[in-house]
Amino acid sequence: MTTSEQVRDSPEGWVAEHIRRYVQTGGAEGHEWRPGVFTLLLTTRGRRSGKLRRTALIYGRDGDAYLVVASQGGAPRHPAWYLNLLADPEAQVQVGPDTFPVRARTATAEEKPRMWRTMTAAWPAYDEYQTKTDREIPVVVLERI
């Protein structure tokens, strides 16, 4: 990813506004989305378009890694950002004022229960989202490159 490439923010209005404030303030606004709930900005490369795509996601930590959940609110399909990471696992993350490259992977069957508990502690609605869909909602591990 090059800094000269245009980044397309989420088409979802409130998410795009969240991203705009996050970027403009270096995370001073938006890193803590709600009391005790923290978000990062994830930039992936579109698997079909090749364009950079950015979204805001709730995150948790597992050691040095960042965890995000590909829930899409329990929708029947995986979110586009997750499909993009499956096609190209190298991405960029902004956490507060810090921006850095990461490599993404889906949590293994052994890791997922522990990581799922971490994420539902941060956002309990993930358990509800899982009941709304037949797909297994992935936990994604973002490791700094």
| Separation of alpha carbons 132 and 33, rounded Å | 24
pTM comes to 0.95
Helix (H, G, I), strand (E, B) or coil at 138: coil
Non-local (6+) Cβ contacts of 10 within 8 A are 16, 19, 53, 54, 55, 56
Contact (CB, 8 A) for 52 and 45: yes
Chain segment 67-113, per-residue pLDDT in tens: 999 999 999 999 999 999 999 999 999 999 999 999 999 999 999 99
Q: DSSP string of 42-106?
A: EEEE-TTT--EEEEEEE-EEETTEEEEE--GGG-SS--HHHHHHHH--EEEEEETTEEEEEEEEE
Chain segment 18-75, per-residue pLDDT in tens: 999 999 999 999 999 999 999 999 999 999 999 999 999 999 999 999 999 999 999 9
Contact (CB, 8 A) for 79 and 112: no
